Structure 1
Amino acid sequence: MRHDKAAMVIELARRMAASAEGLTIDEMAREMRVGRRTAERMRDAVLMLFPQVDEVSDPPTKRWRIRGGLSAFEQAPTATEMLELTKAAAALTAAGEPVRAAALQGLERKIKAAMRSTTLNRMAPDLEALVRAETIAVQAGPRPSADEAMLTAIRAAVLAQQPLGFTYCRPGAEPRRRSVAPCGVMFGRANYLVAADRETGRIQTFRLDRMSHVAPQEGVAAPPADFDLTVFASQSFGIYQDEIEDVVLRISPEGAAEARGWRWHPTQSFEDQPDGSVIVRFRASGMRELAWHLFTWGEQATILAPQRLKAVMAGELDAARRALDAAGG
């Protein structure tokens, strides 16, 4: 068996060991990005190498799983994998997220502690060299934060489907006590609790840095049955949620190549134009955040639709002009 095929069999074994319910042949094919016949041959190879594989009936199909996990030899991480874990922790630290960074750093220590000393010693020089050779570019922007006690309280309420109580303070408004059905947390330029109003069911977002006295409450408060946090997050260009619009942008020939490589939105599509420009289309809410982003494109971006985005951009330009005039610019 060639080395690359052997590596794929080991990787499939890892995925079978990491799945509590096991994998079907179709799931193996999808996760390993191979055809069904190839997945069956790889399954057979795993069965030959790992006699502890369980076959589980799950009508109308079957699943295979490896109970008890794999040995340290079979699970030893590579220097590249450890590097990415180290970089992820460093990125969170640089972004002002020490609690989340500490969780990854703790995971890194546990992984190293579980590794054989010979493997760890062999990896150390490569890992040290790679860490020195790569770094995280710190970008300007807000520094989101959430203390450990707050995240613990939110996660406890989510898992128990209990109401979450907290005091919320918006700029220029009196603090207000809230009780909501928590749906989850969105991490980004600012961190937000996503929750449903307990009376209306309307989904709202709350900035974590404006929340205090956070604690689960007695009772039951489940999110709407059809709510999907990933879908909710993907509807907006950023965090702010408002009316969903059909956005159409024209990027000049000078910026077309960069625009095609840019991830604007999950629903994006591109239309090349005869003059070398490109039309970008997607459906999203969050026109203010989109307007802020379009500032970075300067004269290369032209808003074709919707009209509301044009109005928001004009408003942001007027606000910036007034601030500049006030400063004597």
Structure 2
Amino acid sequence: MRHDKAAVVIDLARRMAASAEGLTLDDMVREMDVGRRTAERVRDAVLMLFPQAEEVSDPPTKRWRIRGGLSAFEQAPTTEELVELTKAAQGLRATGEPGRAAALEGLERKLKSAMRSTTLNRLAPDLEALVRAETIAVQAGPRPSADEAVLTEIRQTILAGQPLGFIYSRPGAEARRRSVVPCGVMFGRANYLVAADRESGRIQTFRLDRMSAVKADEGVATAPADFDLQVFASQSFGIYQDEIEDVVLRISPEGAAEARAWRWHPTQTIENEADGSVVVRFRASGMRELAWHLFTWGEQVAIVQPQRLKAVMAGELQAAARALDGAQA
């Protein structure tokens, strides 16, 4: 068997061993990004090479899994995988997320401790060299906070199907005791709890660093059955959620190449214009965060719509001008 084909077989075996319920043929097609016939051939190769692989009946389909896991040899991580894990932990620690960084560092130690000493000795020099040669540039912005105790309490209430209670404090407003249905957590420039109001069911966001006295409340509370955290997160240009708008931006020919390579939003479309400019369209909320981003494009971007984005941009420009005038006075 050629080396690249062997790698594909090992990869599918790992996926089958990592799935408690097993993979259907459609799962294999999707995860390996291959045709159905290719997926069938790779599956058959796994069944031949791994006697512990089993077929599970799940009408109207079938699943295949490997119970008991794979050997240390078959599961040994590569240098590149360990480097990415180390960099991910370093990035979290550098941006003020020690709890999440510690979780990844613990995973790294577990992986290394499970490896054969000969394999670890072979990888160590390359791993050390690459870790020294690569770093993460920390950009200016809010310093996110994800207190480990707060995250633990949120996760436990989600798993237990309980309401979450906490005191929420915002600048210029009186602190309030809240009791909500936790739906998930969004990590980004600031970290937010996404939750549903227990009475209205309205989805709201709460910054983790403004929450205190976090604990489970009495009762039963589960997220709405039709709620999808990924879909909710994708509605906004950044984190802040408000009215969703149809956004149309025109990027000048000088910035067109960069605009085509830019990930504006999951719903984006990009149209090439005859003069070399491009028109970017997407639907999103968070016009203030979008306005802040558009400052970085300078004269290369023009707002076609919505009007609210133009108004927000004008307001931010006026605020900046007032601050500049005040500094010069």
Question: Normalized against structure 2, the TM-score is what?
Answer: 0.99
1:194 partner amino acid: V
Quote the residue 1:314 is aligned against.
314
1:222 partner amino acid: T
Q: Counterparts of 1:314 and 1:214 in 2: how far apart (Å)?
A: 39
The Cα shift of 1:4 comes to: 0.2
1:273 aligns with 2:248: no
Listed one character per residue, the Cα deviations across residues 269-289 of structure 1 (whole Å, up to 9, x for unaligned) are 000011111000000011010
Q: Counterparts of 2:165 and 2:112 in 1: how far apart (Å)?
A: 39
Q: Counterparts of 2:16 and 2:133 in 1: how far apart (Å)?
A: 34
Quote the residue 2:240 is aligned against.
240
Secondary structure class of the residue paired with 1:174: coil
Q: Counterparts of 1:184 and 1:61 in 2: how far apart (Å)?
A: 31
1:197 aligns with 2:203: no
2:54 partner amino acid: D
The Cα shift of 1:30 comes to: 1.5
Corresponding residue pairs, total: 329
Which sections of structure 2, spanning at least 5 residues, go unmatched?
none
Quote the residue 1:156 is aligned against.
156
Runs (4+) of structure 1 exceeding 6 A deviation are none
Quote the residue 1:110 is aligned against.
110
2:296 partner amino acid: T
2:188 partner amino acid: G
Q: Percent identity?
A: 83
Matches within 5 A, 1:203-282: 203-282=203-282
Secondary structure class of the residue paired with 1:296: helix
Question: Normalized against structure 1, the TM-score is what?
Answer: 0.99
1:113 partner amino acid: S
The Cα shift of 1:58 comes to: 1.0
Listed one character per residue, the Cα deviations across residues 200-241 of structure 1 (whole Å, up to 9, x for unaligned) are 000110111111000011101112121111000000001111
Secondary structure class of the residue paired with 2:271: strand
The Cα shift of 1:143 comes to: 0.5
Secondary structure class of the residue paired with 2:313: helix
Q: Counterparts of 1:131 and 1:142 in 2: how far apart (Å)?
A: 26
Quote the residue 1:146 is aligned against.
146
The Cα shift of 1:147 comes to: 1.3
The Cα shift of 1:154 comes to: 0.7
| RMSD between aligned residues | 0.8
The Cα shift of 1:36 comes to: 0.9
The Cα shift of 1:176 comes to: 0.7
Q: Counterparts of 2:223 and 2:63 in 1: how far apart (Å)?
A: 31
The Cα shift of 1:322 comes to: 1.0
Q: Counterparts of 2:111 and 2:86 in 1: how far apart (Å)?
A: 12
